[in-house]
Amino acid sequence: MSKKTLLILTILIAIVNFISVAYFSLFANRLIRLLTILFYFVLLFNFHQKYSKYVRLAFIPFIISSVLVFNYENVLFNCLTSLVKIVGYLLLFIIAIKKFNYSKTNKLIFIFFMFLALLNLYALSQLVHFVEHLNSDYPLHRYVIYTHGIVLLILCFFTGNANFTKPSKRTLYFSLMVFGFAFSDLSAVLAYYFDILPLSIFHRFLFVFSCYYSVRYIMTRDYPKVKNYLK
């Protein structure tokens, strides 16, 4: 499949997803989401590059979580959805950690990420406090949300570091994929608990965006260097 064909298909899939979020029933909306990730999962097997197996393996928990989300209103399934996703993010973390180079880490970037991490931890604590009032009978839920958020923060830090220390098309696509999934999860949680339709649409945009770049990451054969402006 060519890049142009992939892009056109992604635009069409994104449009279908937007329509499903805005107009379809909750079941149909979640079904479209499941079919979307299954489509990109199949595409991942058309290309075989370095670390591609970890991306394919990570998609398996993502697919399982897309099935579990059909019962997301049940707190048990809610927790399982996050726990299964964490497994997928840990598989992506293997790629990020292999690209990590502490000696080349830009200290300003490190400070910037730490600042963002503190802001996100504060926002996470506020979200957990709000969710606790809704599910006070399930104290485990708060720890699952904390773990999910912290794993994403760590993954984003190592991914961002790899993109700045070893800049290339592949690291850029990997970063777009990871950050897309991270903000997609955040948007989904906020949209669900605060019932904000624009956030639901934004979540689905980021979800399709990340699936697209997961394929772009694997289908990229060359390793062209990108100028590092942080040096």
Closest CA to 132 of 140, 172, 228, 35: 140
Q: What percent of the chain has pLDDT over 70?
A: 78
Distance in angstroms (rounded) separating the CA atoms of residues 175 and 156: 8
pLDDT, averaged across the chain: 84
pLDDT number for residue 88: 95
Quick one: tokens of 215?
């394929």
Work out the number of other CB atoms within 10 angstroms of the CB of residue 110: 15
Task: Give per-residue pLDDT as tens, 50-88.
Answer: 668 899 999 999 999 999 999 988 888 988 999 999 999
Domain ranges of the chain: 3-219
pLDDT reading at 212 higher than 70? yes
Query: Is residue 118 within 8 Å of residue 181, measured between CB atoms?
Result: no
Residue 59: CB partners within 8 Å, gap ≥ 6?
A: 37, 40, 41, 44, 88, 214
pLDDT reading at 229 higher than 50? no
Distance in angstroms (rounded) separating the CA atoms of residues 218 and 45: 9
Average confidence (pLDDT) over 197-210 = 93
Q: What is the amino acid identity at position 75? A: V
Average confidence (pLDDT) over 169-183 = 90
Quick one: tokens of 214?
């997961």
Closest CA to 80 of 23, 170, 148: 148
Task: Give per-residue pLDDT as tens, 84-139.
Answer: 999 999 999 998 888 766 566 666 666 766 676 676 666 667 666 666 655 656 66
Q: What is the amino acid identity at position 147? A: T
Distance in angstroms (rounded) separating the CA atoms of residues 204 and 212: 12
